[in-house]
Structure 1
Amino acid sequence: MERITYQDIPKGMFENLMSTEEYINNSSLDMHLLELIRLRVAQKNGCAYCVDMHHKELKHLGETDLRLSSLCVWKETPYFTDKEMAALNLTDVLTKLSRDPLPEHVFEVLTSHFNKEEICYLTLAISQINTWTRLMKTFKFTPGNYQVKEQV
């Protein structure tokens, strides 16, 4: 049962978050990569609602069952590109923060796949989905009901 329903949320909260989401979605980053990042954050944060949502979004984008089922152990599989692995590594590091700055080797690997602008977008995208997972875990939105919206 939801603790806080969509109707209980202060007016403008989701709308402002969705503006940031749209900004990220319209960046130079590939939507498929963004959804991989979003699903990985949802897995790491244990957000069932977000796992359901981003799993469905990735299936809609044509993601394979093998890669979807292996995302939780991505470091141990050969199914992800070097570019995806660089982004997933950043995702893991920024989702479970330490008191230390981002390790230099993590940043160096990123720069071989992404330019500085894209690294900025990646960082914002990871921060954004971390915000969403924390909201959903607090509000307890019910997983399973999410429907992928067809692009018009």
Structure 2
Amino acid sequence: MEDTVGPRIPDVNTHLPQFRELAGTLVKAVTNGAVPATTSSLVYLRAGQIVGNTYHVMRHSVDLRKAGESEARIAAVATWWDAPYFTDAERAALALTDAVFQPAARGTERVPDDLFAEATKHYDDKAMATLLVILASAGFWMNVALVNRPDPVPA
């Protein structure tokens, strides 16, 4: 594997000017206030851990630190299910993240009805729609970062 310094495509916007608009639309959709910014960052961090993307793990760890989150909470995202640092709503969002980003056993539904029902106990329809777009955008951004390999964000 060849060591690359910097992203493979340094400025995607040069080649695809619509990318900036798409990115802005995604950011606007997920920052509508229906889901706390901390929860969004926890979801992006967990997704980055699952897919093995250093850029997203570093970026969202830095975002969480800047938001005043403790090192214990940030570190415990990797084992959120047995860590005492998360609210029930955050646990529901992290469970959805695991369901979406981890392969399911053959013949099982990735997001079963009981998991969805648990999430709806903590999020209204607008928040659930927002969480859906957060998960979709996490997948979008993970794929961009996996292919383009941007430099990790400095801690």
Fold shared per TM-score above 0.5 = yes
**Does residue 104 in structure 1 map to residue 113 in structure 2?**
yes
5+ residue gaps, structure 1, are: 147-152
Counterpart CA distance in 2 for 1:91 and 1:134 is 15
Distance 1:101 1:67, change over 3 A: closer
Mapping of residues 1-152 of structure 1, within 5 Å: 1=4, 2-7=7-12, 9-96=15-102, 98=104, 100=109, 102-145=111-154
TM-score, normalisation: structure 1: 0.87
The structure, 1 or 2, with the larger RCO (C-alpha pairs under 8 Å, 6+ apart) is: 1
Task: Count the aligned residue pairs.
Answer: 146
Displacement, 1:105? 1.0
> What is the CA-CA distance between 1:17 and the residue it aligns to?
2.0
What is the Cα deviation at residue 97 of structure 1? 5.1
Kept after mapping to 1: 8 A contact 2:46/2:78: yes
TM-score by length of 2: 0.86
Shift of 1:49: 0.9
Quote the sequence identity (%). 25
* Shift in CA distance, 6/114, structure 1 to aligned 2, threshold 3 Å: same
CA distance in 1, matches of 2:20, 2:145: 12
Q: Which residue identity is paired with 2:149?
A: K
2:24 is paired with a residue of what secondary structure? helix
The SS at the match of 1:75 is helix
CA RMSD for the aligned pairs? 1.8
Deviations 1:87-146 (A, max 9, x none): 100111112354736201101111211112211110110110111011011001111348
Unpaired segments ≥5 residues, structure 2: none
